Amino acid sequence: MKQLDTADQRQLLGIARRAIEAAVSRAPATDSSAGPVSADLSSPAAAFVTIREHGELRGCIGLMRFDAPLWRNVRDAARAAALDDPRFLPVAESELPALELEVSVLEPPVDLSDPAGFIVGRHGIVVERGMHRALLLPQVATEMGWDARQMLEAVCRKANLPVDAWRDGSATLQVFESTCFSEGSQPDEPPPG
């Protein structure tokens, strides 16, 4: 995946914020990206939107749609992260000023036949067995201070599988890489003219 430039990152973060504000205020959903988008933002790519409030996780939802434009996946994931993350109550309007958004743009997952090939901090992981499936983003291991085994066990727990399901060959594993950026990581806008 081509690295998104700062303007594209800012535009995606703006799309995410407007989608959350509209969803929380129950405004009708629009199909707008708020202006023209670059070829990179119009290209198909999966995305996750993470919402934090005062540094604490407040919602995180992703869409593994590799056939939809990136900007649309960011918009839809942002709305879902604000309203539909089952771990949290829906975001309230009063919370909006305290929210910080993070966007992760995902590469398509590839099969991981040998768990020894999992690289902590570089790879996100997907585990699947039967109807059970879960995903953890690459930055989770770093944020939690986990090694490879702990990350693999955590994704199995998230999928409601035994923590060692990744070892027994009955579960399939996939890895992916992602580009992650947040409102707090954006350089300041240059002063006007």
CATH value at residue 79 = 3.30.700.20
Same domain for 45 and 99, yes or no, is yes
For residues 107 and 3, what is the distance between their CA atoms, to the nearest angstrom? 11
CA–chain centroid gap for 171, Å, is 23
Average confidence (pLDDT) over 111-117: 93
> 115 in a domain, yes or no?
yes
Please check whether residues 35 and 81 belong to one and the same domain: yes
pLDDT of the residue at 184: 81
* The predicted structure's pLDDT at residue 190: 43
Containing structural domain, residue 17 = 6-106
Domain count of the fold of the chain? 2
pLDDT in tens, 120-177: 999 999 999 999 999 999 999 999 999 999 999 999 999 999 999 999 888 999 999 9
18 — pLDDT class (breaks 50, 70, 90): very high
Q: Minimum mean pLDDT among 26-35, 36-45, 58-67: which range?
A: 26-35
Residue 1 resides in a domain: no
Q: What is the model's pLDDT at position 32? A: 58
In a domain, 146, yes or no: yes
pTM of the full structure: 0.87
- Structural domain contains residue 185: no
